[in-house]
């Protein structure tokens, strides 16, 4: 085990204790990687979190609302596609896939919005 002691000049420790403390944070998630694919998804998720956070920070400064909306629509389209595909694969191997709460909420809101909008007519 690599336990590292804190030092006044070195800042916080980066050993096991550091990661245990990070896991206690309310916004943290701990992922048990069963396959190399999980490592790839965790890396993508971590980078996505940083990039989307910066994108939101830059909204109206260097990113206009139209571009922001387009980027986020495409981002969620990809995430929803992944959720749908995992649900499909899960059905093939007898696993009842549980979509994320956010996915279920956004899908419900989208369905309600389409019910509340007037029907499109061809001109």
* pLDDT digit string, tens, across residues 48-88: 999 999 999 999 899 999 999 999 999 999 999 999 999 99
Question: pTM for the full model?
Answer: 0.69
Indicate whether 7 pLDDT > 60: no
Find out whether 58 and 71 touch, Cβ atoms under 8 Å: no
């Amino acid at each position: 085990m690599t336990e590292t002691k804190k030092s006044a000049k070195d800042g916080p420790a980066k050993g096991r204790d550091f990661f245990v403390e990070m896991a206690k944070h309310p916004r943290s998630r701990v992922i048990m990687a069963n396959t190399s694919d999980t490592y790839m998804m965790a890396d993508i998720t971590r980078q996505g979190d940083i990039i989307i956070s910066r994108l939101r920070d830059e909204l109206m400064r260097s990113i206009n609302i139209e571009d922001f909306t387009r980027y986020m629509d495409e981002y969620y389209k990809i995430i929803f596609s992944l959720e749908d595909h995992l649900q499909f694969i899960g059905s093939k191997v007898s696993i009842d896939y549980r979509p994320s709460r956010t996915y279920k909420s956004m899908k419900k809101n989208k369905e309600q919005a389409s019910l509340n909008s007037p029907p499109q007519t061809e001109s």
